[in-house]
């Protein structure tokens, strides 16, 4: 076993390897259970020696509980700098495993929507604490952020942070394009002093991914010509979820939460974080701002009455997670209700629904409204009559002139004048043609309002609602049989289930696929392609930027995963599949029971509303009736 020397001369023994990276490896320390040692690879230690020494000297490790800062320097027995000790981070997993729905199923099997929000709060708190130490993360991305099963957050790779000690600035030399702000895209990081505002961009991306199912905020469908990769979209300020759609020319992928689902304050903060730098005179929302906003959002959450794994903004109304899961056809979180809970006895409830008396048939609406004695002819009606009288008088005068012409001048022209004048005078007597359009509109409006009133004031609406509740009761009674049939079907497709589980366990993000780097993987994840199973079930060519050639590469990878599958007939039916069926039935039962429980109150409200409508018809009906009678009076 390798022995290293701490700065105070203690000899420490390196134990098993905890993890490896491009710069070095992290080891257990045999002499202490709560510390680990990072030992650099050959050739790397010299570049980090001065920064690590400065961080240790400034005791950064006591200034933030969220970061595995260097605690002490380590040297070889010959005095060569090797690395440093830091607090041991045990039981934590990558934040990527949390925000990706596919990996979350296995790595964070109990995480629900509140867990994601609490993790986001802790991440923002961690970044705020780092900025308070004078450090800038610089290379902020998912690989250096770890989350526990209690939503606690720790950042590692602190030796890559930018840190200023005295007059010396130790820069962060690397960055991941998908988390790099637009003003630094393509920059040489060894020549750039990072600022907290630069970190605030990467933080906003990570928070977005936590709250929006792992979707990248710049991965969407470009509405212009060609494709738009994430890096280019960041440079152009093309936030795919923005309300500035005419400016960004982007629209989000399908099956995503709405930007406003967490409230207007969160929506505005994301818009500000992803606004082009020139339009951010005050900079992006800082980590401390996000802590406040996210805590405010957490304080007003409502728990879904159907699935307690869903929490959402209280004044939204219907649960947006239920709606999203229904449209996707799968659950995003482990359902939090007991599949083994006893089935509610709805017999008494059903009796109450069946025996509740329906409203009686309403009276004729005309008789319910009665006469309108106050109705008087309108100015339009009076004007039409005056015009008619003048026309008749003029016609009579023309007839007199025509008779004179017939007897004294010309019988033909006189007769023509008499006939023409008579026709005009006769037509003017009938006012129906003049008011035809208005009469038809008034009659149509009356018929429409009358139909609505008859349906609500009588038994029609009540009986339709009662029929709905009775159908729900029948569906509730059929659920045990439906569950047995689904469980029996699982046994019939055991091989298919094993294959699907095998393919679902192979994640795109962890695979080495030709020409599919982190940017393209983020785009695939934003469109719901997380595992080999997703690739085999849907066409990748529907994802922006994935033409036949790239699609062929990723489909070849998925086929290679499939070829490695070996069916084992002795393995019982996948317990997760059985649990999924039971959870699905339990969720349907909970939804039905929730609606059935409100049936008596709902039906009584409909009956009371019908009674009130019969006693006092609504103003819309009165107005439509009055309008019709007014036109009829004007016609005469």
Q: Collapse the DSSP code of 476 into the 3-class scheme (helix H, G, I; strand E, B; otherwise coil) and give the result.
A: helix
- pLDDT number for residue 589: 86
- Read off the tokens for 406: 């017939």
Q: Is 94:142 a contact under the CB 8 Å cutoff? A: yes
Residue 594: pLDDT band by 50, 70, 90 thresholds?
A: confident
User: How confident is residue 429, by pLDDT bands cut at 50, 70 and 90?
Assistant: very low
The mean pLDDT value for 283-303 works out to: 96
DSSP assignment of 408-470:
HT-HHHHHHHHHHHHHHHHHHT--TTTTHHHHHHHHHHHHHHHHHHHHHHSSHHHHHHHHHHH
pLDDT at 55 over 90: yes
Helix (H, G, I), strand (E, B) or coil at 16: strand
pLDDT at 245 over 60: yes
428 pLDDT exceeds 60? Answer: no
| Residue linked to tokens 């209280």 | 314
Per-residue confidence at 331, pLDDT binned at 50, 70, 90?
confident
List pLDDT tens digits, range 538-575: 999 989 999 999 999 999 999 999 999 999 988 888 88
Residue 631 · residue 435 · CB < 8 Å = yes
3-state secondary structure (DSSP) of residue 148 = coil
C-alpha 377/C-alpha 359 separation (Å) is 38
SS3 content of the chain, % helix, strand, coil (to 5): 55, 10, 35
- Distance (Å, whole) CA 340 – CA 216: 38
Quick one: tokens of 205?
Answer: 């991306």
The number of helices, as runs of H, and strands, as runs of E, in the chain is 23, 15
Would you state the pLDDT for residue 316?
A: 80
CA 272 to chain centre: 19
Query: pLDDT higher for 384 or 509?
Result: 509
* In the predicted structure, residue 422 carries a pLDDT above the cut 70: no
Instruction: Name which residue leads in pLDDT, 52 or 20.
Output: 52
Cα gap 510→400, rounded to integer Å = 104
**Structure confidence at residue 183 (pLDDT):** 96
Cα distances (angstroms) measured from residue 632 to each of 70, 376, 417, 431, 626: 92, 11, 33, 10, 10
Pairing of strands 250-251, 221-222: antiparallel
Q: Is residue 425's pLDDT more than 80?
A: no
Mean pLDDT of the region 64-73: 96
pLDDT digits (tens, 9 = 90+) for 334-354: 766 555 555 667 888 888 899
Please report, to the nearest 10 degrees, the dihedral formed by the alpha carbons of residues 478, 483, 488, 493 taken in order: 120
Residue 290 has pLDDT above 60, yes or no: yes
Do 316 and 156 touch, CB atoms closer than 8 A?
Answer: no
What's the average model confidence in pLDDT over 496-521?
92
pLDDT tens, 368-400? Answer: 888 887 887 777 656 666 665 555 555 555 555
Packing angle, helices 379-408 and 619-635, rounded to 10 = 20
Q: Is the pLDDT of residue 636 over 70?
A: no
Of 233-237, 388-392, 531-535, least confident by mean pLDDT is: 388-392
Token look-up 């019969």 returns 614
pLDDT of residue 410: 56
Residue 424 pLDDT greater than 70, yes or no? no
Query: Stretch 280-297: mean pLDDT, rounded?
Result: 95
Contact between 349 and 600 under an 8 Å Cβ cutoff? The reply is: yes
Sequence-separated (6 or more) residues with CB below 8 Å from residue 248: 236, 237, 238, 239, 240, 242
pLDDT at 257 over 50: yes
List Cα–Cα distances, 459 to 189, 361, 365, 462, 557, in angstroms. 74, 6, 15, 5, 62
**In CATH, what number does 1-87 get?**
3.30.200.20
**Predicted pLDDT at 629:** 79
Q: What is the 3-state secondary structure (H, E, C) of 189-238?
A: HHHCCCCHHHHHHHHHHHHHHHHCCCCCCCCCEECCCCCCCHHHHHHCCC
Q: What percent of the chain has pLDDT over 90?
A: 62
Give the model confidence (pLDDT) of 126-149 as tens digits: 999 999 999 999 999 999 999 999
Task: Report the percent of the chain where pLDDT is more than 70.
Answer: 89
Residues 577-587 have pLDDT tens digits of 888 888 888 88
The pLDDT value recorded for residue 265 is 96
| Mean pLDDT (the chain, rounded) | 88
Given a cut of 80, whether residue 324 has pLDDT beyond it is yes
Q: Rg of the chain over CA atoms, in angstroms?
A: 38
pLDDT digits over 607-620, tens only?
Answer: 999 999 888 888 89
The alpha carbon of residue 62 and the mean position of all alpha carbons in its chain are separated, in whole angstroms, by 39
- pLDDT for 364: 87
């Amino acid at each position: 076993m390798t022995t290293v020397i701490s700065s105070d001369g203690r000899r420490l023994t390196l134990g098993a390897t905890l993890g490896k990276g491009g710069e070095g490896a992290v080891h257990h320390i045999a002499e202490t259970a709560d510390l680990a040692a990072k030992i650099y690879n050959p050739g790397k230690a010299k570049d980090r020696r001065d920064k690590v020494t400065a961080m240790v000297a400034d005791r950064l490790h006591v200034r933030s509980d969220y970061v595995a800062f260097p605690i002490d320097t380590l040297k070889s027995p010959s005095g060569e700098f090797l690395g440093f000790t830091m607090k041991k981070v045990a039981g934590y997993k990558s934040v990527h495993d949390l925000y990706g729905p596919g990996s979350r199923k296995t790595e964070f099997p109990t995480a629900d929507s509140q867990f994601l929000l609490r993790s986001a709060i802790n991440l923002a708190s961690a970044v705020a604490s780092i900025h308070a130490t004078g450090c800038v993360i610089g290379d902020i991305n998912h690989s250096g952020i770890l989350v526990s099963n209690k939503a606690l957050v720790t950042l590692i790779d602190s030796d890559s942070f930018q840190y200023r000690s005295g007059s010396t600035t130790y820069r962060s030399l690397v960055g991941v394009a998908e988390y790099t702000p637009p003003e630094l895209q393509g920059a040489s990081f060894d020549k750039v002093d990072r600022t907290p505002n630069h970190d605030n961009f990467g933080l906003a991306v990570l928070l977005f991914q936590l709250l929006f199912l792992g979707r990248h905020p710049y991965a969407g469908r470009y509405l212009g010509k060609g494709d738009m990769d994430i890096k280019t979209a960041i440079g152009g300020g093309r936030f795919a979820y923005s309300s500035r759609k005419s400016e960004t020319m982007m629209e989000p992928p399908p099956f995503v939460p709405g930007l406003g689902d967490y409230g207007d304050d969160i929506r505005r903060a994301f818009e500000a974080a992803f606004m082009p730098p020139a339009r951010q005179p005050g900079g992006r929302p800082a980590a401390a701002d996000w802590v406040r906003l996210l805590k405010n959002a957490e304080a007003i959450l409502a728990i879904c009455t159907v699935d307690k794994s869903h929490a959402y903004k209280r004044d939204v109304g219907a649960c947006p997670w239920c709606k999203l899961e229904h449209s996707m056809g799968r659950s995003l979180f482990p359902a939090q209700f007991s599949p083994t809970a006893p089935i509610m006895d709805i017999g008494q409830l059903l009796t109450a629904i069946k025996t509740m008396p329906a409203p009686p048939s309403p009276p004729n609406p005309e008789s319910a409204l009665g006469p309108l004695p106050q109705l008087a002819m309108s100015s339009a009606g009076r004007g039409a009559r005056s015009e008619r009288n003048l026309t008749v008088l003029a016609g009579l005068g023309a007839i007199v002139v025509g008779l004179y012409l017939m007897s004294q001048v010309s019988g033909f022209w006189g007769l023509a004048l008499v006939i023409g004048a008579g026709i005009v005078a006769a037509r003017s007597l009938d006012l129906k043609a003049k008011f035809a359009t208005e009469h038809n509109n008034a009659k149509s409006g009356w018929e429409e309002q009358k139909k609505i009133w008859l349906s609500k004031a009588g038994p029609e609406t009540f009986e339709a609602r009662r029929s709905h509740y009775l159908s729900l009761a029948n569906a509730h009674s059929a659920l045990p049989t439906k569950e047995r049939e689904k469980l029996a079907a699982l046994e019939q497709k055991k091989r298919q289930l094993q294959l699907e589980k095998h393919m679902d366990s192979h994640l795109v993000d962890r695979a080495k696929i030709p020409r599919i780097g982190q940017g393209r993987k983020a785009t695939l994840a934003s469109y719901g392609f997380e595992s080999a199973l997703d690739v085999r079930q849907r066409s990748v060519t529907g994802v922006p930027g994935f033409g036949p050639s790239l699609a062929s590469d990723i489909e070849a990878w998925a086929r290679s995963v499939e070829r490695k599958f070996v069916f084992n007939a002795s393995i019982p039916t996948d317990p997760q599949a059985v649990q999924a069926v039971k959870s699905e039935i339990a969720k349907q039962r909970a939804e039905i029971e929730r609606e059935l429980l409100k049936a008596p109150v709902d039906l009584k409200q409909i009956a009371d509303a019908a009674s009130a409508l019969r006693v006092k018809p609504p103003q819309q009906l009165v107005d439509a009736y009055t309008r019709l009678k007014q036109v009829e009076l004007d016609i005469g």
